[in-house]
Amino acid sequence: MARIERETEGDNTMDRELAVQIMRDTRFSNDLEYIDDNMDRLSKQRPEKSSEQLKQAAVRDYRVMESVLGHCDMCFKQSERADGSSNLSPPEYPTVALGNRVYLALPNREPMNDGHCIIAPVDHIAGSSLKCDDDAWDEIVNFMKCLMHMFAAKGQGVVFLETVMSATPSRAQHCAIECIPMPLNKASDAPAYFKEGLLAADEEWSQHRKIIDTTAKRQAVAPLNDNVRDQDANHAREREAIRRGGFRNTMTAKMPYFHVWFNPHGGMGHVIENPDRFPPWFGREVVAGILDLPPTVYRKPRKLKESHNQRCDRAEEWKKQFGWDQFDWTKMLTE
């Protein structure tokens, strides 16, 4: 269902119009008899906009997105040189590794700990990582796996956090997934901490479950037959079975949400029904509770004022500190 919603985003005009008509109907009763008797009126659509109105709306949306892109410090910005050639400027984040669609960087604010890093798409994906295509998502998973192996070599576990406070593209921030390492004994307690935090988060009464299990479920696949030539087909069916469930088939980009991964196969999700009552630092606050860190670390960390060279130096120091080079999957792209 979530996959279909993502693929048909923007094609839900009829549902939206029905919702508008229901909200305008002060006598509306949520029972089948009333809906059947008034279906003609409830399904009546507003007059379509003229071509001129559509043109003005398109121009307005374009200007809004241009402003958003111009102010986004996580984007790779393209500019034109005097000789007519193009120049690609890196984001205002210390970039550790760059894939074709996704990059790994360090926070541009004071990190929660030394290993704190960020996975983000190269293109401006507003809000949710669910809007990323399959190629970009594969790169996100590659970074997750490499980071887990890297921190495991240091005797640490890791959690990945994504907080989407708005589903509106003009208001949503550049998609980003935070990676925060912690000692293995602390990481084993992380699911219990997040479960407790999510049960107490947001409204007391909500339409959605407080905790959505996004763990990918491996389903058994019976072999087609004993013919060796059919083994590839068996493996393909197995991979398809593994994809069922999981984050990308459970959550939707049409609503704000919080999600924590304990491994690339999934974790816990929470639909944010009232962003005014859900703190944007919720995930970092839970991590701070696990690691006994003060509120100043997660609420409003100080922004680091660094030059381009200073950002490059910090990224290089981070790679040396954790031995990133031996786990960096992006090296395969240049081999």
**Which residues neighbour 51 within 8 Å (Cβ) at sequence distance 6 or greater?**
none
Count of residues for the chain?
A: 335
pLDDT beyond 70 at 120: yes
Q: Give the pLDDT mean for 159-177.
A: 89
61 or 102, higher pLDDT: 102
Q: Tell me what pLDDT residue 8 has.
A: 45
Query: Between the ranges 1-5, 131-135, 203-207, where is the mean pLDDT highest?
Result: 131-135
**pLDDT tens readout for residues 212-230:** 999 876 555 555 555 545 5
| d(C-alpha 180, C-alpha 60), whole Å | 39
Which of the four pLDDT bands, split at 50, 70 and 90, describes residue 21?
low
pTM over 0.95: no
**pLDDT tens readout for residues 44-87:** 655 566 677 777 777 776 666 666 667 788 888 776 666 766 67
| d(C-alpha 85, C-alpha 90), whole Å | 17
Which amino acid is present at 49?
A: K
Q: Which of 119, 114, 136, 147 is nearest to 327 (CA)?
A: 147
Which amino acid is present at 217?
A: K
**3 state DSSP class of 306:** coil
Tell me which of 22-31, 209-218, 286-295 is least confident. 22-31
